Amino acid sequence: MIIAYDLFGHDNLSFMWPNSVPANLERCPCDDLVLNNEKAVSSDFKIKKKLDVSYTYDGYLIVSERFKEFVQTEKITDVNFYGLPASPGYYLFTAKNILEFDALRRRVKFSKPCEVCNQSLEVIGSSPVCLKQNEVIKRGIFRSDVEFGEKNNKFPIIIIGIDTHSKLMASGMTGIDSHEILDKYDWEK
């Protein structure tokens, strides 16, 4: 049974931080893990490939004005759009409502957590998405509690309800890469 969809985007051929992350961000002494990554909006960021939904190489989800209008028309709340001064009409997107990822079921691999920030430098195995809750989600946009990837490039999985998904797919927006989230996968049967 499909309970929701994940929302990925095509690569936009851009880095939020092409060199290194700025020193004014809150970071853990462990290995430059940025702890307030969602606030890491570079005023110099220029999107190289303009899509409605896309990811930077360093794990930031960038959306267009059109996507923002869709979210507002759908009255979806608890999301953030951070303006990108050097890329007018584009935003860094984050979702605030958290869904718990079932790391045990998916057998996610965590590297040894840092003793200071309790984060793993590497978290591998996000796909297919396994959620702890297995009820159908009709509408809304959410994020996973677990962030995947490595070091400063980690990002949560964005999850959308099935009704929101069908409207989004019908909108003709570009760059969307979305997959079914099931309550049970073949390997679990």
30 binds Zn ion (CB under 5 A): yes
Q: Where are the alpha helices (DSSP H) in the chain?
A: 65-73, 103-106, 162-170
CA distance 75 to 2: 23
Q: How far is the CB of 149 from Zn ion (least distance, A)?
A: 15
Q: How far is the CB of 29 from Zn ion (least distance, A)?
A: 7
114 binds Zn ion (CB under 5 A): yes
25 binds Zn ion (CB under 5 A): no
Among 28, 98, 108, 182, indicate the residue that binds Zn ion (CB under 5 A). 28
Q: Are 30 and 153 in contact (CB under 8 A)?
A: no
173 binds Zn ion (CB under 5 A): no
Q: Side chain identity at 122, as an amino acid letter?
A: E
Give the residue with the Cβ less far from Zn ion, 30 or 41: 30
116 binds Zn ion (CB under 5 A): yes
- The tokens describing 31, both together, are 């290995």
Q: Are 183 and 126 in contact (CB under 8 A)?
A: no
Judged by the rule CB under 5 A, the positions of this chain that interact with Zn ion are 28, 30, 33, 114, 116-117
